[in-house]
Amino acid sequence: MPVGRPASHLLLGRYHLLRGRAATARALFARSLASADQLGFRYEAALALGWLGRTTPGRAGRTQLQAALLRMQEMGVAWDVAEFTRWLDESG
């Protein structure tokens, strides 16, 4: 079902990340983001963007993570704001 694609891709991405397959994880996070944006699922899109940013090296990843943090702040999702802020602090 289309409505399950963002969550499915996100969870598969996290699975592959845990298995050490960062490139596969990033591809799945990008698919999750695209699906969520297409469906208008703001929260799921922000989550996917956060995970994409967390796993993308360098400035590009940090930029994605900052964008995800901004989306979460706009939605007022306190736990995710704290988590993404921690990820940003850890990224340097």
Predicted local distance difference test score (pLDDT) of residue 1: 77
In the chain, where the domains are located = 2-91
DSSP letters spanning 26-58: HHHHHHHHHHHHHHT-HHHHHHHHHHHHHHS-H
Arch. (CATH architecture) of 2-91: Alpha Horseshoe (1.25)
Gap between the Cα atoms of 32 and 44, Å rounded: 8
Predicted local distance difference test score (pLDDT) of residue 56: 96
Give per-10-residue mean pLDDT for the chain (92 aa).
Answer: 94 98 98 98 98 96 97 97 96 83
